[in-house]
């Protein structure tokens, strides 16, 4: 019987083992690449989310900064007579000279922000505007345009509004000032009608830190 030479080639078993090793290496490389892509996509999504939150807060700050002492406006059947600003943990209403609705003409609008919770505990932040004349006196329902409602943030947790009250400008952000869960201008330390600041706190999910 003739013996097989050393360079006669691979046996079938050796070929199978080699192909198996190559397949394992390719699988590891592919999985590593997929993990890298998913991590990159998650990072991009987080960055886009943070940018959206900052953009929404900047829009709200701009509209709040233009809060206008215009006429009392009856909205949703409630007479806000004399109230430049009203708010609680889940909503706030005020009159502003800036509209956030794209394409709307300039003019005074009555704004209402709402935080609503669905059956699963997720919250949505939306705002609505109704245009009104800036003429002194109560503006009737007939002078208001149809309400436009827009979603600003969705699928968030534990969002709320707080309002800063201070007896005087010297006491602003001092120990005498305090954050409140509601703002009713009839209260003694709210005689000016407007809070010194509005804080919105929200949590993207249960694991994330509040913003």
Domain segments of the chain as ranges:
68-203
pLDDT of residue 114: 92
Nearest to 110 by CA among 88, 152, 138, 89: 138
DSSP-assigned letters across all residues of the chain: -PPPPTTS---HHHHHHHHHHHHHHHHHHHHHHHHHHHHHHHHHHHHHHHHHHHHHHHHHHHHHHTB-----BEETTEE-TT-SEEE-SSEEEEEES---STTPPSS-EEEEEEEEE-TTS-EEEEEEEEE----SSPBPGGGSPPPEEEEEEEEEEEEEEEEEE-SSGGGTTSTT-EEES-B-TTSGGGTTSS-SEEEEEEESSSSSPP-
Query: Does the pLDDT at position 141 exceed 50?
Result: no
Query: Does the pLDDT at position 167 exceed 80?
Result: no
Average pLDDT, the chain: 73
pLDDT of residue 162: 92
Query: Does the pLDDT at position 155 exceed 80?
Result: yes
**pLDDT, tens only, 190-211:** 545 788 889 888 777 655 555 5
pLDDT higher at 67 or 69: 67
């Amino acid at each position: 019987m003739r013996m097989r030479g050393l360079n006669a080639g691979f046996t079938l078993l050796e070929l199978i083992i080699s192909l198996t090793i190559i397949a394992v290496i390719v699988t590891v490389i592919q999985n590593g690449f997929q993990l890298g892509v998913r991590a990159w996509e998650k990072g991009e999504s987080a960055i886009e989310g943070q940018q959206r939150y900052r953009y929404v807060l900047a829009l709200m700050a701009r509209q709040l900064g233009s809060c206008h002492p215009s006429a009392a406006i009856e909205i949703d059947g409630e007479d806000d007579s004399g109230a430049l600003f009203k708010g609680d943990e889940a909503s706030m209403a005020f009159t502003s000279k800036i509209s956030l609705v794209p394409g709307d003409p300039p003019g005074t609008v009555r704004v209402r922000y709402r935080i609503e919770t669905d059956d699963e505990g997720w919250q949505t932040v939306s705002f609505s505007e109704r245009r009104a004349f800036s003429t002194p006196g109560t503006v009737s329902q007939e002078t208001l345009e149809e309400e436009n409602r827009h979603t600003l943030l969705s699928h968030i947790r534990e969002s709320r509004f707080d309002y800063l009250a201070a007896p005087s400008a010297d006491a602003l952000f001092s120990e005498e000032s305090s954050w409140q869960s509601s703002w009713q201008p009839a209260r003694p330390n709210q005689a000016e009608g407007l809070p010194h600041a509005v804080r919105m706190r929200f949590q993207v999910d249960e694991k994330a830190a509040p913003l």
